[in-house]
Amino acid sequence: MMALRIVCACAVVAAAAANADEQTVAQRLAARTFPSIFQAWSPADNLSGEDEITTLARHDLVFHGAGFFGLQWNNSFEGLADGFKPDSIVEARTKRQELLKKNPAMIMLAEIRYRDADRTFLPKNHAWWRRGADGKLEAGWDEGDYIQLDFSNAAFRNHVAIQARAAVESGVVDGVLLDWWVDDDDRLSLVKAIRNAIGPDALILANANAGTTPLTAPFINGYFMECDHSATVEDWDKIRTSLRWAEKNLREPRINCLETWYHKSRDDLTLMRATTTLSLTHSDGMCLFSDPNPLPTSDHLHNWYDFWSKSLGKPVRAGAMQPDGTWKRAFENGTVIHNPKGNRPVTLLFPQRVRSLATGRTAKTHQVGDCDGDLFLTLP
């Protein structure tokens, strides 16, 4: 296997200088207040009149293709590139600083394609496209016109690691996203190569949906939990179990990102609250409630909800299950309650009056329904 090489020594030095005054990833994660929300490719699109940078900076983590951050690959075929055009690195660092000025805790990740890509990613007959037994290109997935890539090819895996290194060494992003993630030998070889290329401190986020990956876990900082099933008690049990597993077993610092999709509309507010409060009571990660992928619009578009305002401050202890079946966690400015699907509606009695963020009511007694949750804020 050819050795990984440094894309450009001068770029590394310049990136270090550009980011010298920034906090480390661990410091930024620790500085967050909650709720903590992430963006998966597509933006919040309900904030009419707000500029793009301000809306993006509401999120504590964002992942997207390198081009979204302003980086331009140094080859007309993205899959053959081994670095970025120098001018684009300068411009992309400027965008990073604009975002960090608005949200100093923000984490940025570049998606590195390894499993599938559009037809312009590589030359038509390149060896890194995956082909079936009949020699034909294999489709990426049913919805799109993407083609699978042959990550069983060691040379291609090595090149993916080179691209991941280039992204991190640009000084524009804090790590990489790897989509379509399960445990197998080829992905294990790939994530080992990427971790070796980007070093111990850069982040790797992998899309394991609602599953777990014990084999590759030591190399991964967090799961993008793209939970496409959230209708049954069993669905929610799986999500909760996987999130708790990831919080315990993945590499530190951890960046677990929990997403569910609406069932009927973006006004499924109980589902949004259930997702948000599950994340808050079971993790120190981030959450998202978004459009379902089968819609003809871009995947992961979403609203920004007032419920996501930074009202809680920081957690003061871990979440714990209560005798009534709910999960509870204390924060500096209030209490989070998550009522799992399948549990009965509950009535809560607080020792003093608190304000429900879901209803706006201020009282000692509040109700939380099945598969719902709420933030109860301490009064000044």
Identify whether residues 77 and 161 lie together within a single domain.
Answer: yes
- Is-cis flag, bond preceding 351, omega within 30? no
CB-CB contact of 297 with 24 (8 Å):
no
Identify whether residues 356 and 286 lie together within a single domain.
Answer: no
pLDDT score of 140: 86
Q: How far apart (Å, rounded) are the C-alpha atoms in residues 110 and 64?
A: 5
Q: How far apart (Å, rounded) are the C-alpha atoms in residues 172 and 142?
A: 33
pLDDT band at 143 (very low <50, low <70, confident <90, very high): low
What percent of the chain is modeled with pLDDT above 90?
90
| Residue where a domain terminates, one of 308, 334, 363 | 308
Structural domain range at position 319:
311-380
pLDDT surpassing 80 at residue 259: yes
Q: How far apart (Å, rounded) are the C-alpha atoms in residues 13 and 187?
A: 31
| Residue where a domain terminates, one of 284, 308, 332 | 308
Q: How far apart (Å, rounded) are the C-alpha atoms in residues 38 and 42?
A: 10
Identify whether residues 229 and 348 lie together within a single domain.
Answer: no
Distances (CA, A) of 66 to 17, 166, 201, 256, 306: 21, 10, 19, 21, 30
Cα 307 from chain centroid?
Answer: 19
pLDDT score of 135: 86
pLDDT surpassing 60 at residue 141: yes
Query: Per the structure, how many domains does the chain have?
Result: 2
pLDDT band at 17 (very low <50, low <70, confident <90, very high): very low
Find the mean pLDDT for residues 289-298.
96
Model confidence, pTM: 0.94
pLDDT surpassing 60 at residue 13: no
Rg of the chain in Å (alpha carbons): 21
pLDDT score of 144: 63
> In this structure, what CATH number is given to the domain that contains residue 192?
3.20.20
The mean predicted confidence, pLDDT, of the chain is: 94
The SS3 call for residue 365 is: strand
pLDDT surpassing 50 at residue 6: no
pLDDT surpassing 50 at residue 9: no
pLDDT score of 23: 93
pLDDT surpassing 90 at residue 106: yes
Identify whether residues 304 and 317 lie together within a single domain.
Answer: no
pLDDT score of 20: 52
Q: Say if residue 317 is exposed, middle or buried (CB neighbours under 10 Å; 0-12, 13-18, 19+).
A: exposed
- Whether 95 is in a domain gets the answer yes
Q: Of 297, 218, 327, which is closest to residue 42 (Cα–Cα)? A: 297
- Whether 137 is in a domain gets the answer no
Q: How far apart (Å, rounded) are the C-alpha atoms in residues 282 and 15?
A: 35
pLDDT score of 84: 98
Find the mean pLDDT for residues 166-177.
98
Identify whether residues 174 and 33 lie together within a single domain.
Answer: yes
Identify whether residues 366 and 272 lie together within a single domain.
Answer: no
Contacting residues for 244 by C-beta, under 8 A, at least 6 apart: 282, 283
CB-CB contact of 162 with 197 (8 Å):
yes
pLDDT surpassing 50 at residue 112: yes
Identify whether residues 250 and 280 lie together within a single domain.
Answer: yes
Q: What would you measure as the largest C-alpha separation in the chain, in angstroms?
A: 70
H-run or E-run covering 13? helix 9-18
pLDDT score of 4: 45
pLDDT score of 366: 98
* Interval 228-244: pLDDT, tens: 999 999 999 999 999 99
> In this structure, what CATH number is given to the domain that contains residue 357?
2.60.40
* Interval 21-63: pLDDT, tens: 689 999 999 999 999 999 999 999 999 999 999 999 999 999 9
- Whether 341 is in a domain gets the answer yes
H-run or E-run covering 40? strand 38-40
The SS3 call for residue 175 is: strand
* Interval 183-204: pLDDT, tens: 999 999 999 999 999 999 999 9
Identify whether residues 279 and 361 lie together within a single domain.
Answer: no
* Interval 318-372: pLDDT, tens: 999 999 999 999 999 999 999 999 999 999 999 999 999 999 999 999 999 999 9
Distances (CA, A) of 281 to 36, 122, 145, 264, 277: 12, 44, 39, 25, 6
Identify whether residues 360 and 243 lie together within a single domain.
Answer: no
| Residue where a domain terminates, one of 246, 273, 308 | 308
pLDDT band at 12 (very low <50, low <70, confident <90, very high): very low
The residue assigned the tokens 């040379």 is 155
For residue 203, the cross-strand partners are 175
Q: What backbone phi and psi angles, to 5 degrees, belong to 313?
A: 75, -140
